[in-house]
C-alpha cells in the first residue's frame, strides 16, 4: 500500500518555458484544495540538494499565471547527476517531511526524476514543460504554443523587410533535436522552405524550392531553419552556400534565440498548465509515481516517465505535406 501523502514538493528544472509559473500555481492551488501542504523548491534539483525550500500556500501564487519564466528559478544541476547529489537531495526532503515531488521540465528533468524515484522509492510525477515539444506521450508540452506565437510574430516582422527589399531571409529557430517549432511556425508564417533535424534531404530540397519560387515569380523568400537540422552547416554557412549557387540572392540571416523562451504564456499554455498541475496532484493522491501528466487527444493522461523520455525523432507527414502545398 502506498504511503499517505501530506506534503508535496514542486520544482522547475532545465530550460525555462512560458507556462511554468501557471503550472506551479495549479499544483499549489490543487494542494490547497485537497488540504495538502505544498513546498516550493528553488533552483530545480540544485535547490533540492541544498534544501532551498519555501512553504507555498494558495496566496503565494497570486499574480503569476501571466508571467513567463519561473519564479522558483531553474538550473541544469550537474551534482544531481551523481549518486551523492541525489542522496543529499533525499536527505533534505526527508528532513522537510516532503512525501512526493512534482517536477516540471523536459527530458533531462524526467531522467533525473526516474533515477531518484528508483533509488529512494520516492513518488515523482512529471509535468512536461519545454518549448521544444519533444516529449513522448503528450501532444503538447508547456511553452510550445507561446514559443510558436513568438516565432510567428517575429517572422511576420522579418517578412516586411524581406518583401520591401526583395531579400531571402534564413531564420533560425530553437528546438534542439526536434523540428516541431520550425515546421509549425514555418507553416504559420508562410515560409517558402523549412529545414528540420528529422529530414536529411533538407538542403537539396531547399535549393529546389528556391528555384521554384523564383520561377513562380516570388521576389522574396523566408526559410525557417531548425537549430538542430543536419546539413552539417550552420545557418551562416548555409547562407554562403546558397549565395555560391546563385549570386543574385540578397541574403540575410536572423537567429531568434532566447526570445522564443520568454514572454507571457498564451491562453492555451495557461489552460494546459492548469490541467496538468491539477492532474499531477491528483495522480500523487491516487498513489501514482514515475508518471508524466500529459495531454493526448484533449484528455489528461498519465504516461510512464520512462516512456516520456524515449521519444524517437518523427516528422508529422501531414504537416510536411501541407507545408509543401501551401508554399508553391
Ligand atoms: O530546451 C529548450 C532550449 O531552448 C532548446 O530549444 C535549446 O537548444 C536550448 O534549450 C538552449 O539552452 P540554453 O538556454 O542552456 O542555451
Q: What is the pLDDT of residues 224-254, one digit of tens each?
A: 999 999 999 999 999 999 999 999 999 999 9
Sheet with 299-304: list strands edge to edge.
53-56, 37-41, 7-12, 100-105, 124-128, 291-296, 299-304
- Residue 226 has phi, psi (to 5 degrees) of -70, 140
Q: Are strands 37-41 and 53-56 parallel, antiparallel or unpaired?
A: antiparallel
Distance, CA of 83 to CA of 88 (rounded, Å): 9
Q: Which residues line ligand 1 (CB under 6 A)?
A: 15, 106, 130-132, 174-176, 227, 261
Q: Which of 174, 177, 184, 197 to mutate to test the pocket of ligand 1 (most atoms within 8 A of CB)?
A: 174
Predicted local confidence at residue 200, as pLDDT? 80
Whether pTM exceeds 0.95: yes
Distance, CA of 209 to CA of 221 (rounded, Å): 10
Q: 261 C-alpha to center of ligand 1: Å? A: 8
Q: Which of 12, 15, 134, 309 to mutate to test the pocket of ligand 1 (most atoms within 8 A of CB)?
A: 15
Q: Which of 132, 181, 259 to mutate to test the pocket of ligand 1 (most atoms within 8 A of CB)?
A: 132
Q: Is 186 exposed, middle or buried (0-12, 13-18, 19+ CB in 10 A)?
A: buried
Using DSSP, state whether 85 is helix, strand or coil: helix
Our CA angle for 153, 158, 161, nearest 5°, is 140
DSSP 57: -
Using DSSP, state whether 187 is helix, strand or coil: helix
Residues of the chain with pLDDT under 70: 1-2, 201
Which residue's C-alpha comes closest to atom 2 of ligand 1?
A: 15
* C-beta neighbour count of 40 within 10 angstroms: 22
Q: 17 C-alpha to center of ligand 1: Å? A: 10
Using DSSP, state whether 60 is helix, strand or coil: helix
Using DSSP, state whether 21 is helix, strand or coil: helix
* C-beta neighbour count of 14 within 10 angstroms: 23
Predicted local confidence at residue 108, as pLDDT? 96
Whether residue 232 is annotated as binding a ligand: the answer is no
pLDDT (tens digit per residue) in 18-27: 999 999 999 9
Q: 15 C-alpha to center of ligand 1: Å? A: 6
User: Which residues are catalytically annotated?
Assistant: 132
Which residue's C-alpha comes closest to atom 14 of ligand 1?
A: 15
Q: 138 C-alpha to center of ligand 1: Å? A: 20
Predicted local confidence at residue 23, as pLDDT? 99
Predicted local confidence at residue 203, as pLDDT? 83
Whether residue 143 is annotated as binding a ligand: the answer is no
Amino acid at each position: 500500500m502506498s504511503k499517505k501523502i501530506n506534503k508535496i514538493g514542486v520544482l522547475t528544472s532545465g530550460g525555462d518555458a512560458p507556462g511554468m509559473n501557471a503550472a506551479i500555481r495549479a499544483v499549489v492551488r490543487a494542494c490547497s484544495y485537497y488540504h495538502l501542504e505544498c513546498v516550493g523548491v528553488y533552483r530545480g534539483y540544485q535547490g533540492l540538494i541544498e534544501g532551498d525550500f519555501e512553504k507555498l500556500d494558495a496566496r503565494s501564487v497570486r499574480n503569476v499565471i501571466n508571467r513567463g519564466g519561473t519564479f522558483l528559478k531553474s538550473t541544469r544541476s550537474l551534482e544531481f547527476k551523481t549518486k551523492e547529489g541525489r542522496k543529499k537531495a533525499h536527505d533534505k526532503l526527508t528532513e522537510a517531511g516532503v512525501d512526493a515531488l512534482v517536477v516540471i521540465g523536459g527530458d533531462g528533468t524526467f531522467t533525473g526524476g526516474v533515477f531518484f524515484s528508483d533509488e529512494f522509492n520516492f513518488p515523482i510525477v512529471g509535468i512536461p514543460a519545454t518549448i521544444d515539444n519533444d516529449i513522448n506521450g503528450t501532444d503538447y508540452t508547456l511553452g510550445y504554443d507561446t514559443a510558436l506565437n513568438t516565432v510567428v510574430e517575429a517572422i511576420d516582422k522579418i517578412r516586411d523587410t524581406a518583401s520591401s527589399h526583395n531579400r531571402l531571409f534564413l531564420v533560425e529557430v530553437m528546438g534542439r533535436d526536434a523540428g516541431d517549432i520550425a515546421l509549425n511556425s514555418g507553416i504559420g508564417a508562410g515560409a517558402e522552405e523549412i529545414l528540420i533535424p528529422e529530414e536529411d534531404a533538407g538542403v537539396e530540397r531547399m535549393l529546389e524550392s528556391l528555384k521554384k519560387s523564383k520561377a513562380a515569380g516570388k521576389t522574396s523568400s523566408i526559410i525557417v531553419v531548425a537549430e538542430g537540422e543536419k546539413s552539417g552547416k550552420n545557418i551562416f554557412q548555409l547562407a554562403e552556400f546558397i549565395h555560391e549557387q546563385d549570386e543574385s540572392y540578397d541574403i540575410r540571416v536572423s537567429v531568434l534565440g532566447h526570445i522564443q523562451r520568454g514572454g507571457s504564456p498564451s491562453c492555451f499554455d495557461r489552460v494546459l498548465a492548469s490541467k496538468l498541475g491539477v492532474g499531477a496532484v491528483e495522480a500523487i493522491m491516487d498513489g501514482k509515481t514515475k508518471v508524466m501528466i500529459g495531454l493526448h487527444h484533449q484528455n489528461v493522461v498519465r504516461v510512464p516517465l520512462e516512456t516520456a523520455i524515449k521519444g524517437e525523432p518523427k516528422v508529422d507527414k501531414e504537416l510536411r505535406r501541407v507545408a509543401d502545398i501551401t508554399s508553391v
